[in-house]
Amino acid sequence: MTTERRPAAENEDVLDVLACEIDARPKDAPSFADLQPAVLSVAREEGAVRVEFDPARRDDVRRLVEAERLCCAGIGWDLREGPGLTLRIVAAPGQLDVFEGFLRGEG
């Protein structure tokens, strides 16, 4: 996941929380910041965050999920496609806090 907008020390803290292997992530993959305008809704569930994306950004969301599966392999990435586009992220509470912030445009 891309965190270039944060100071270096904060980037390291986020990567530690997420247990992220940032070097495994393709450099050209979209980030949560790139896709934030395509977020239609974000909901916190027990053990997960559910996000609805604009289906017009389907290819970008797929690329994001593929990249996140590489760098944050310990986190669950369940992408449901149909008429809508729903991503369910399953992770520890602290990790979900970080993702929820990214998805709401707070990080």
Collapse the DSSP code of 53 into the 3-class scheme (helix H, G, I; strand E, B; otherwise coil) and give the result. Answer: strand
pTM confidence score: 0.80
Cβ-Cβ contacts under 8 Å for 15 (sequence gap 6 or more): 3, 22
Place of tokens 């806090």: 97
Strand blocks (E) in the chain: 39-45, 48-53, 76-81, 85-90
Ordered by start, the domain boundaries in the chain are: 8-103
Instruction: Output the six-digit token pair for 19.
Output: 């247990």
State how far Cα 107 lies from the chain centre: 11
pLDDT in tens, 22-64: 788 888 999 888 999 999 999 999 999 999 999 999 999 999 9
